[in-house]
Amino acid sequence: MEGIDDNGRYEGDLDPWLSSFWVTLKKMHPSIFTCDTQLFDPNMKVLDYPKFQIIYHDVEKAPSYVSRNIDLNLMEIESVRTMTPGKFPHHDCRRQCFVNMAKNVRLTNEDGDRDVRLFEFNILSSDTEYEVGDVLEILPCQNPAAVNAFLQRCNLDPESYISVQLADTAKSLPVSKLNISCKPIKLRTFVELTMDIASASPRRYFFEVMSFFATAEHEKERLQYFASPEGRDDLYQYNQKERRTVLEVLEDFPSVQMPFEWFVQLVPPLKTRLFSISSSPLAHPDQIHLTVAVVAWTTPFKRKRHGLCSTWLAGLDPQKETRIPAWIQRGSLRRPSPSLPLILIGPGTGCAPFRAFVEERALQSTQGPVAPVIFFFGCRNQEKDFLYKDSWLSHCENSGVLSEEKGGGFFVAFSRDQLQKVYVQHKMREQSQRIWELLGEGGAVYIAGSATKMPADVMLALEEIITKEGGTPMESATRLIRQLEKIGVHGGVSGHKASRKETWWDLGEVMLLNLAWALALTRAYLSESE
């Protein structure tokens, strides 16, 4: 529903129908629908009660909690973030750890239009393990100035101690995995750890609730218009297109003074950001490396916007120890066996997990024979954003895992260094026979990169290679790829080969039938979405 709501396409039809639906339903079943809530009030004359209740505690009796999240342990951070029910589901599969930055290196040229960084972190928590293909989940730190501005704008006492619980009027509502902390926490800490006040945009209901607390008539009218079906398009232009934050919206409507309970309910939650780990634990014990594009863009009204997490990480000084709350979880890229031939396709920051793959395969090669690896990398310019250039080239020399003598290969597409753009799929077609040979040996294909047009173009190139080299109809190759993608996404075992009776299609070639279960197509988390 997030994407539907953000593009503002459906509410113009949904709103009048929904209003009529609730009114009709109430008339048909008056004994069931007895409460007067905003669901039955198309003119927004009645405001529902907030779902949460804030309990304020005596400061003298409050425990010695402090306001900065770096002073809390991981269990306390989890506890604070679950004080708001339903917003932060618990993940049993995650492994908690603290990390601190050891190195912050820009990989792209200073005069380039993209800022891609290598962040190296020391793992501070003991007994923390990970594998190549895993994902690091980071809780970003919000700008203290923005937090201060929000607290001041809302007339909140940052030093007060609070706890959050379901309001009596909402206890009948279904709330998944309810976990209310009974320990008081500083209000400032709660805002810092749970409420995204200066990055995410509020939803439409936020404007509707604001209208009830606006004392200036012109602000009330504007907010009511934004919350109405008629104002849907203008709200989209004002809010979502410009990515206005909660703090900016509040500053635009200074007469609004809402109770904190409503902010707890309506402010978007501060989300963790997920990144593919780009290091091998064999090559870098007690360290985790990330390859991150620092996100920045300009809105239609020429307002500069910056990604919360990537910008914060880029601004950290490795000389100053900052404990960063993090969690390690299993990624979609499964750790390959040393005997499994690899075809890696990762343009741009898509190379992040494959840096770890190649590092690990290089170390494994010193202990025994390993299968070949070919890697297709793409970037815009050789001089500006050739990420990890020296590392890749070193693995191509002296019998490295990407060298031809080891059966490997490294193929780079520089899309902007010539008049006609060249992408990874073009390099794949040039190496059609080599790809086919590795697939015939049971090789696995891993794809990581932008989720826009690149995966589709790579898929098409694979289909064409299978058709050309295997003498197979395009329709059969397409059907094969789609089936194999499902297997890879849902955790199919790379290298497993099906017999003829296990396959429901007839492709006519034994090699292609063997290939059917050897191809694993997966995705990776590359950089933050905001």
Q: What is the pLDDT of residues 355-367, one digit of tens each?
A: 999 999 999 999 9
* pLDDT tens-digit map of 123-147: 998 888 999 999 999 999 999 999 9
* pLDDT tens-digit map of 299-354: 999 999 999 999 999 999 999 988 999 999 988 778 889 999 999 999 999 999 99
Rounded CA gap, 494 and 88, in Å? 33
Q: In the chain, what are the domain boundaries?
A: 2-46+202-242, 342-515
Closest CA to 452 of 348, 297, 308, 377: 348
The domain 342-515 having CATH identifier 3.40.50.2000: the answer here is: no
Q: pTM of the predicted model, to two decimals? A: 0.82
Token readout for 419 is 């008049």
Rounded CA gap, 333 and 204, in Å? 37
pLDDT above 90 (res 16): no
Which pLDDT belongs to residue 277? 96
Residue 314 phi, psi dihedral angles, 5° rounding: -65, -25
The predicted model gives 271-285 an average pLDDT of 94
Q: Read out DSSP for 321-367?
A: ---EEEEEE--SSPPPPTTS-EEEE--GGGGHHHHHHHHHHHHHHTT
Place of tokens 């995204």: 196
Q: Which amino acid is at 126?
A: S
Question: Which value, to the nearest 10 degrees, does the dihedral of the CA atoms of residues 337, 342, 348, 351 take?
Answer: 20
